[in-house]
Amino acid sequence: MLSFITSFLPTSYFLPGWLTLDTNPLNHLLQGLVGACGISVLCSLMRVHLLLKEESWSDKDESSQRTSSHQRGTKGGFAAMLQFFFVTGMLAVVGSRVASLVVLEFSLRAVSGWITAGPVRSQESGRFLQQLLVQSQFSLGCALSCSLHFLHEGASQRWLCLLLAAALSWFLAQQATRLLHHVMALYKLHSSQRYCGICISLLTSGRCLLPMLCRTLFITFSVAVIAAISIINQHFLSATEALRFWTPLTICYTLLVVHMQEEQHRLPSSQAVLNTVVVRLGGLMVLMLTVGRWSDVFHILMCFLGEASCLIPTKDLLDASSSRDEEDYTDNVKREHRRRPRAQEKEHQS
């Protein structure tokens, strides 16, 4: 019905071909809604995880009376709803080809970052995973949109399948938001009194929340990588054209990943992440100017706005994942300085 109505709209007279959507706009909108709901669930559970860590630290250090920065940065009401629908619009506008490239780029960056990190302590590994989860927000939305495009391609009632997926995603996003507000308001009271089932479950198994998120994202991006390779290869007529596209893409992003790993060690977390977004999307735009289409360049510009709308409101999550590590490091240094004189006195006495 919608395609019948839109067939009479003279879009081809007013817009160039590279600005029009390749399929039904309703399908793009529903895919973007599913991706935005996935981002909302990820952010809510990440804030719940950091709030649980903050409560465990405050229990160990009763003298500290701090208000967590990620709790102060939690938005509500009109601002959160506006950001949600803006991200939905950006994911709906971005085509499946560019979404596939974003998924492959993030997967390559995540694997290379994990390999170059090497064997690290559990504390540093947790910090790396937290930063990676925060950085994966828009890429997660692209992964969900790209996977839905691949799985429902050719379906006779595609819009109905996407509508059911969007309804389920909306329900999960609402439940995750309610859990976040419940933890922010009542977790400290309920966990001490031990009469709330939700808070008792988080108190006993809250440490499993971060590994569960990592496993879920691993499965999501594994499916999305397969879908992305299939979607991109559909645009090539021969293996020579595919090789001409994949060779510069692989070389370019291998060099960019090495450069970005060095930048993250020199700059603060939030600034390094924003610089990383500009560098990698800028490199992707240069690549699309040489081997891509004008529609790809337009969609990459939309990716800039989408990444900014996801990362700027969650800078407090990046700062929270690094600030406590710095405090723990300074505490360990002070303890080592206190232990050295005692050890020297014992040596002199012996």
Give dist(CA 216, CA 176) in Å, integer: 15
Q: Is the pLDDT of residue 243 over 70?
A: yes
pLDDT of residue 216: 93
Cβ atoms of 214 and 133 within 8 Å: the answer is yes
pLDDT at 173: 95
Could you state, in order of their start, the residue ranges of all structural domains in the chain?
23-53+68-330
CB 162 within 8 A of CB 27: yes
Q: For residue 249, which of 293, 278, 280, 272 has the smallest C-alpha distance?
A: 280
Comparing 10-14, 131-135, 185-189, 328-332, the range with the smallest average pLDDT is 10-14
| CA-based nearest residue to 306, from 20, 24, 99 | 99
- Encoded tokens for 188: 């400290």
More confidently predicted of 211 and 56: 211
Residue pair 252/287 in contact (Cβ under 8 Å)? The answer is: yes
Distance CA 108, CA 233 (A): 18
Q: Which helix (H) or strand (E) element contains residue 108?
A: helix 96-117
- Three-state DSSP at 163 gives helix
Instruction: For residues 73 and 53, give the distance between their C-alpha atoms in angstroms, rounded to a whole number.
Output: 16
Among 85-99, 118-132, 141-155, 165-179, which range has the highest average pLDDT?
A: 165-179
Are 94 and 36 within 8 A, CB to CB? no
